[in-house]
Amino acid sequence: MLCFQILKCSPVTQAVVTRNYAQKAKGHHRDITNGPGLGDFIAGGANPSETDYVGNLVKKSGERLRLPPWLKTEIPVGKNFSKIKGSLRSHKLHTVCEEARCPNIGECWGGGKHETATATIMVLGDTCTRACRFCSVKTSRAPPPPDPHEPINTAVAVCEWNLDYVVLTSVDRDDIPDGGAAHFAETVREIKKMKPEMLVECLTPDFRGNLECVETIVESGLNVFAHNIETVEALQRSVRDPRANYKQSMSVLEHAKKFRPDVLTKTSLMVGLGERDDEVVKVMEDLRAIGVDCLTVGQYMQPTKRHLYVKEYVTPEKFRHWEELGKKMGFLYTASGPLVRSSYKAGQYIGHVMS
């Protein structure tokens, strides 16, 4: 049983206590008024510098890392965000931005101050036949068949947005003989038919290493062929689905470049999964050896509790190092930063390269 004892104070003591409390309350009110607001905590504005951050950046046994300030993003808002979301729903389309819970969705869809509108459309449905341990896209051994109207609906939607650059990607469809390559390529052709000047990037699966499927995509009229290597060679099996692997992904990128040398090739690498710096350098060297033109490097973010833990939060300083190294190695561009993803501001980077 809990007991509470009531203390009686003299009138003089009560007056002193009341005065001290009033002074403290006034001080607290001043601190609250001058302190950070809700927006600072959402955007990380209260403590934006990596040099000021005193939290642990490398995971220890039994510990969950706190999110450092440079990885906090704004809540998606704005008229362009609402417009694109409404258009996607009306045309029954999916985006990897939503399915993979991308942290840049507000900025890329128009929530940022510059109101840029860039969305990565995901064709062949929203359900993947693989189960990579870093990805939150739905999985199934037998997803619903692709929507035959999806290519034309996609073309109509992206032309409605009046874009100059669009990224198409897809889930893995190992249940379809060609992995969905023909459906993917048809979507590109429909877009080019409606707006020939639009630049199209295709971020493709590996098609189980079937290089004929790669040729189908490259011949579709696209401008940029992308396929993500995802992580360093040593971590492939623990991070990706067993049907994916380092050599297979490298062969896809290499064949695309050999088949159409005029098409830009691109890939993306996640860090913070426990890789060593020398392993990252090795990936970059391997990519340049097969002629990959463009590289993005970004922080792995755990999408749900069921997915891989973040082993390390890489500092912005280290990302700047990877970007400088990429330039020295000869990549046409290296986009490297904590919130960079494979399609992050792709139009701006590619537009600069092609201008």
Cβ distance 222 to 215 under 8 Å?
A: no
Orientation of helix 181-194 relative to helix 150-160, angle to 10°: 40
**Is 108 a known ligand-binding residue?**
yes
Cβ distance 153 to 321 under 8 Å?
A: no
> C-alpha angle with apex 332: 205 to 241, nearest 5 degrees?
20
What DSSP string describes 156-201? HHHHHTT-SEEEEEE---TTSTTTTHHHHHHHHHHHHHH-TT-EEE
Cβ distance 290 to 302 under 8 Å?
A: no
**Is 202 a known ligand-binding residue?**
no
Cβ distance 300 to 272 under 8 Å?
A: yes
**Is 102 a known ligand-binding residue?**
yes
**Is 343 a known ligand-binding residue?**
yes
**Is 135 a known ligand-binding residue?**
yes
Count of alpha carbons within 13 angstroms of residue 258, beta-carbon side: 11
Give the number of other CB atoms < 10 A from CB of residue 122.
Answer: 25
d(C-alpha 53, C-alpha 47), whole Å = 7
- Tell how far CA 121 is from the center of its chain: 13
d(C-alpha 99, C-alpha 108), whole Å = 15
Which residues neighbour 30 within 8 Å (Cβ) at sequence distance 6 or greater? none
**Is 294 a known ligand-binding residue?**
no
**Is 132 a known ligand-binding residue?**
yes
Which residues neighbour 195 within 8 Å (Cβ) at sequence distance 6 or greater? 158, 159
The CA distances from residue 295 to 49, 116, 209, 223, 318, in Å, are 25, 21, 21, 16, 16
Count of alpha carbons within 13 angstroms of residue 90, beta-carbon side: 10
Which residues are annotated as part of the binding site for [4Fe-4S] cluster?
97, 102, 108, 128, 132, 135, 343
Which residues are annotated as part of the binding site?
97, 102, 108, 128, 132, 135, 343
